[in-house]
């Protein structure tokens, strides 16, 4: 990483500032996010469909398991924003290569953590919640730091301790944002399907008649579209927590200063 290439100021941010920064990045650089967003959304929707349409589970199981399993598709989104922060340009090939190289470690850590989390929730509750919280930062740790599986797992546990009220405020903000965007996307989808395209295609206009299937899948689609953006927001929460716990902003500042001194010494 060359400190002079930084596209975002590395500093601590409030929950509102993380949302605003994520919105600005999507607004100014929508192209690089499109592929990762679609991958995340399609994968999330597929998980919900398999749980209900293939395995025949009740919709309640889908509502509980999809948010727990959906972050398995987060790595391309996290990799994309990581490259955009530390480089003025990012290509699909770079994101794909990084995802493939670090994907196996992330998948192993993710599913090991989810099994431990479910076991903890089933038997002890509090340890399960702690293990779940330790997984919140796994994707950015693996994507940005590129540590080994053991080191990444320990880093996740480290990020799960301390600053409880601050991290809780970020988590509450992200949860409310996820709920708001899910309802917004679902409402937009319903409007387009029934009110707009339903005027031309009768099949779409009749979808709400099968309410037991239509509305749960509509909510699933809304969640699938909302989750990638909340993951983007949470990446900046990772940066915020890393700065507060480790003084990463000072490290970046010293590295920037050192790079300038090196350039000056070469010029002399």
- Give the pLDDT score at 48: 94
Whether the pLDDT of residue 185 is over 90: the answer is: yes
C-alpha to C-alpha distance for 237 and 265, rounded to whole angstroms: 37
- Give the pLDDT score at 7: 66
The alpha carbon of 144 is separated from its chain's Cα centroid by a whole number of angstroms, namely 13
- Give the pLDDT score at 186: 93
Q: What band does 268 get if pLDDT is binned at 50, 70 and 90? A: low
Select the more confidently predicted residue: 254 or 66: 66
- Average pLDDT in the 71-98 region? 86
Residues 1-33: b if buried by 16+ CB within 10 A, e if exposed: eebeeeeeebeebebeebbebbeebbeeeeebb
Which structure tokens are listed for 120? 């903890």
Whether the pLDDT of residue 183 is over 60: the answer is: yes
CB 10 within 8 Å of CB 249? yes
Select the more confidently predicted residue: 129 or 95: 95
- Average pLDDT in the 8-12 region? 75
- Give the pLDDT score at 223: 96
Element (H, E) at 37: helix 30-49
Sequence-distant (6+) residues with CB within 8 A of 188 are none
Ranges 8-22, 134-148, 213-227, most confident: 213-227
- Give the pLDDT score at 2: 53
C-alpha to C-alpha distance for 106 and 172, rounded to whole angstroms: 25
Whether the pLDDT of residue 50 is over 90: the answer is: yes
Residue-averaged pLDDT of the chain:
84
- Give the pLDDT score at 248: 78
Length of the chain measured in residues: 268
Whether the pLDDT of residue 153 is over 90: the answer is: no
What are residue 196's phi and psi, to 5 degrees? -95, -70
Which structure tokens are listed for 46? 């597929």
What SS3 string covers 156-198? HHHHCCCCHHHHHHHHHHHHHHHHHHHHHHHHHHHHHHHHHHH
**Helix 149-159 crosses helix 126-134 at what angle (to 10 degrees)?**
120
Q: What band does 261 get if pLDDT is binned at 50, 70 and 90? A: confident
- Give the pLDDT score at 58: 86
Whether the pLDDT of residue 3 is over 60: the answer is: no
The alpha carbon of 213 is separated from its chain's Cα centroid by a whole number of angstroms, namely 27
C-alpha to C-alpha distance for 187 and 208, rounded to whole angstroms: 13
């Amino acid at each position: 990483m060359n400190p002079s290439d930084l596209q975002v100021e590395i500093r601590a941010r409030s929950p509102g500032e993380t949302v605003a920064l994520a919105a600005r990045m999507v607004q100014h650089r929508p192209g690089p996010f499109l592929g990762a967003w679609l991958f995340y959304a399609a994968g999330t929707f597929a998980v919900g469909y398999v749980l209900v349409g293939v395995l025949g589970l009740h919709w309640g199981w889908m509502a509980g398991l999809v948010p727990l399993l959906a972050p398995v598709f987060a790595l391309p989104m996290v990799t994309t924003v990581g490259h955009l922060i530390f480089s003025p340009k990012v290509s699909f090939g770079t994101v794909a290569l990084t995802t493939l190289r670090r994907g196996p470690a992330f998948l192993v850590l993710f599913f090991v953590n989810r099994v431990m989390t479910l076991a903890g929730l089933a038997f002890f509750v509090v340890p399960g919640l702690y293990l779940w919280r330790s997984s919140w930062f796994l994707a950015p740790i693996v994507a940005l730091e590129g540590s080994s599986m053991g080191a990444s797992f320990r880093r996740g546990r480290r990020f799960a301790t301390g600053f409880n009220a601050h991290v809780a405020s970020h988590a509450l903000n992200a949860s409310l944002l996820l709920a708001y965007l899910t309802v917004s996307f679902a409402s937009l989808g319903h409007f387009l399907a029934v009110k707009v395209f339903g005027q031309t295609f009768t099949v779409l206009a009749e979808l709400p008649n099968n309410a037991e299937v239509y509305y749960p899948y509509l909510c699933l689609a809304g969640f699938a579209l909302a989750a990638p953006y909340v993951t983007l927001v949470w990446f900046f929460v990772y940066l915020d927590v890393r700065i507060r716990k480790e003084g990463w902003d000072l490290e970046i500042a010293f590295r920037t200063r050192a790079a300038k001194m090196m350039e000056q010494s070469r010029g002399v």
